[in-house]
Amino acid sequence: MCGGSAHHLCSNEYFASVLVEPPYDAACCSKSCADQYIVEEALHDAVIMSDEKSIVKRSTRLLSRQNRRYFVRDRIRLLELFSTMDIPNIKQFCREQDIPRQTFSGWLTKSSTYMNCHATAKQKSLGGQGQVESIPFGNELVTFMKDVRREEHVLTTAHMITWIKTHHGKWLDRYIAMKKDDASGYNTLMRLCQRFAHRHGFSQRVACVSRARQQELDETHRSFARQFWSKYSDYKASEILNVDETGIYYDMPPRRIWAEVGGSSKVDKSEKHSDRLTAVLTIRADGRKLPILFIVHGKPGGKIEADEIPSYPDGHVYAVQEEAWMDERVWQVYLQYLLKNELVAETPSVILADNLACHVSHASVETICLDLCASLEALPPNSTSVCQPLDVGVMGPLKAKMRSLWLREAPVKTSAEKRGAMIKRTIKAWNSLTEDTIVKSFFKAIPQVYEL
């Protein structure tokens, strides 16, 4: 009834207080709505007091002011505009610009700070409102952590605490003394250091042992790029290829399991990989992908090669090896039955490969040079993480796509079904990779213009 019931109560209260009979039914929608403003104003202005308390309260609500957010760039523009006024008048300026005077006065007190700052397009504050660092020597601790990782040494929470014990023992004693006991102090200190590391750009990662330090890898990267383009600068992008092997697993054995709190974490058996195969991937610098060579776990000439392989998807090459890995025989299968069909004999090509023994053997070089009319360029030892295009920019996206595809696969049980699922999953992920991804991986791994 457009609030008619509320109008009825208010109007009846008013007319009863002044001892006058209501001239109309205030609950009637048409009349009460027409006189809404008059009734509410009369109730507001009437001073109706009893011996104990007021019997009338204000029924209207004041509109709350809408809060505004100003970017730092807007504040600087308004401060500059205010400074150009002949006779600066804060009240007049705020009225013309529709700015709360108290807000603008606060900006004026920090005008020098605003004028000297370099704000981004969407920055809403000058900064400095964040958490106050709880560790007074935080800058020194961060420097220590970065120095340790710069030399590629192991950095753990225990190392951080050891550094604190060595250089700020008094602070550590006071910190532990404030806790209930030493055990509580140790646990809170561990959490304090972990949160400190996260706030300053560190994350917990699985340690990866490298045979070469990062500085050495960077120098190797630069040297290899210069050497490669000095030899193959006249080659077209379609004539530069990179080949590498990667392991494909149907599922991964868990390193951790869920167990009830207070219960045992023992298991009846150790879970292993249900099955594995190797995919030999090849890409061109122009962004094109070659078919995949799948190395299946089995005995050459056995049941898998005779019965399963004919059922696998067409358009790719399949080989069987006892450990599902690359060896001299399988490498020759790759060169003769896959790569040879993709190369043009009259056009020179260069094949980038790591220094796996079967890749750089005398038989391999002879086959590539004589049968394929191409060149083999072996990557420097222990440098595939920075010099091999497949490792630099393709393997990561490929494995991510494969994990996503695994979520939508129907579970299978037999080894033959799992091998087929792995092959189909790999082919689908391989086909979904874009040419742009491959081109960028070559540019990153072997930059033609390298900044020295």
Q: How far is CA 2 from CA 5, 28, 32, 130, 418, in A?
A: 8, 10, 9, 49, 68
* SS3 state at 5: helix
Per-residue model confidence (pLDDT) at position 4: 45
Torsions phi, psi for 351 (to 5 deg): -110, 120
pLDDT per residue as tens digits for the range 168-227: 999 999 999 998 888 888 889 999 999 999 988 888 877 666 666 778 888 999 999 999
Per-residue model confidence (pLDDT) at position 349: 95
Tokens of 312: 């696998």
- All residue ranges of the chain with pLDDT < 70 are 1-66, 119-122, 127-132, 207-212, 252-274, 449-452
Per-residue model confidence (pLDDT) at position 240: 96
Per-residue model confidence (pLDDT) at position 77: 86
Angstrom distance (rounded) from CA 273 to CA 249: 7
pLDDT per residue as tens digits for the range 78-98: 888 888 887 778 888 898 888
Angstrom distance (rounded) from CA 56 to CA 13: 8
Per-residue model confidence (pLDDT) at position 86: 77
Handedness of CA 410, 394, 351, 248 (dihedral sign): negative
Contact criterion met (CB below 8 Å) for 38 and 89: no
Q: Which CATH number fits domain 217-254+271-445: 3.90.850.10, 3.40.50.970, 3.30.365.10, 3.30.420.10?
A: 3.30.420.10
Tokens of 278: 């190797």
Contact criterion met (CB below 8 Å) for 413 and 191: no
Angstrom distance (rounded) from CA 332 to CA 330: 5
Per-residue model confidence (pLDDT) at position 294: 97
Per-residue model confidence (pLDDT) at position 367: 95
Q: How many of the other CB atoms lie within 10 Å of CB of 232?
A: 19
CA nearest neighbour of 224 among 435, 336, 392: 392
Per-residue model confidence (pLDDT) at position 410: 83
Per-residue model confidence (pLDDT) at position 6: 47
Per-residue model confidence (pLDDT) at position 64: 55
Q: Is 2 left (phi over 0), alpha (psi -120 to 50) or beta?
A: left
Per-residue model confidence (pLDDT) at position 170: 92
Torsions phi, psi for 246 (to 5 deg): -145, 145
CA 324 to chain centre: 33
